[in-house]
Amino acid sequence: MNINSKIYIAGHRGLVGSALWKTLQSKGYSNLVGRTISELNLMDAVAVDKFFAEEKPEYVILAAAKVGGIVANNTYRGQFIYENLMIQNNVIHSAYVHEVKKLLFLGSTCIYPKQAPQPMAEDCLLISPLEYTNEPYAIAKIAGIKMCESYNLQYGTNFISVMPTNLYGPNDNFDLEKSHVLPALIRKNHLGKCLHTNDWNALRVDLDKNPIEGINGSHSEEEILSILDKYGIRLNSSDSRVSIEIWGTGKPMREFLWSEEMASACVYVMENVDFKDTYSVDDKEVRNTHINIGTGKEVSIKELAETIQAKIGFEGELVFNADKPDGTMRKLTNPAKIHELGWHHQIDIDEGIGKMYEWYTK
């Protein structure tokens, strides 16, 4: 790529897409293209083809996806598999038809089996069953990897797949029903702190910016307390103590990567890595050409929650509900492949949580 190349970022307002946009701009890339869902519905094949025909992007980064945490994945199973397959199929195929020079497809480490060897290297793919709660989403992402591989092998395209570990950062989703664990814990601790300190002004400001099921800052205290209670943020009327419920035992281990570092890795791959670099020329069968993007470090959900609690200053109680599912117990990536290709992460979780909460409160 050069600084004048036309680069289309699908999902440019999301967590990763916005970080990619910012990173590319900081490096001098000025010909960036993005479309909101109201401007271009990526599930509409005709509209996507028309967009590619008119805009003629030279490079494509496919960061658009329907995403969510364990609750959303398990609840909206049909939507997660259908919408992600449609988005991927349309963008990847149009990139081939309109002769895009390089495409980067963003997947997820949930593609790996529930009982995958730890840490998970790229060759763990499809060796045993997936985690049930996010199986539809994972299958869609696996299909995206195989579509890129297959088009490369049949048509000679240069489509690369990267598998980020759990991401967090600016423009994350803080919806308590649909967000991933880290932003959900940050918001729950923030709202819990507001309740605990009786700071109703800050609490109402938060709800005005991001209502919960239509409940915003203009609603009554009773209505607000009711919706917070539904999502596990509870005020004990007898002693005014506040508790936060967290799904599962707190024992699962998770790895987290700052979204702007993921963007840095993606741009590095776009600038320096081609499909031929993702496998050995001696391989009789070309498989597992995707690239893990991670830190190789992990933390338990309990440790994560306690770190967030300390950073935010919430003095209430964290309650782990063992009747709720834990999900996969361990999901640690092996980042050896991306290290060999020349990229390493810099920001660890403690620093990242501080940066995340500072961004959220602003």
DSSP letter assigned to residue 130: P
Please report, as a single letter, which amino acid is at residue 298.
E
Nearest one of 14, 24, 106, 100 to 60, comparing CA atoms: 100
Write out the two tokens for 207: 């709800």
Q: CA 18, CA 30: separation in Å to the nearest integer?
A: 15
User: Which contacts of 231-239 are long-range, i.e. CB under 8 A and separated by 24 or more positions?
Assistant: 231/176, 231/177, 231/188, 232/188, 232/319, 232/321, 233/188, 233/191, 233/192, 233/195, 235/195
3 state DSSP class of 97: helix
Task: Give the other-Cβ count within 10 Å of 28's Cβ.
Answer: 9
Task: Give how far Cα 361 sits from Cα of 52, 125, 170, Å.
Answer: 38, 39, 11
Q: Measuring CA to CA, which residue among 224, 237, 240, 238 is closest to residue 191?
A: 224
The CA distance from 9 to 267, in Å, is 12
Residue 232 to residues 79, 108, 178, 191, 227: CA-CA distances in angstroms?
A: 25, 27, 14, 11, 9
CB–CB of 293/216 below 8 Å? no
Q: Among candidates 32, 30, 159, which has minimal Cα distance to 102?
A: 159
Which one of 76, 137, 231, 357 is the catalytic residue? 137
Residues 108, 291: contact at Cβ < 8 Å?
Answer: no
137 is catalytic: yes
Which tokens hold the place of 54? 């008119």
Give the residue from 197, 218, 202, 170 showing the smallest Cα distance to 313.
197
- Paired with 59 in beta bridges are 7, 102
**Catalytic residue numbers, as ranges:** 137
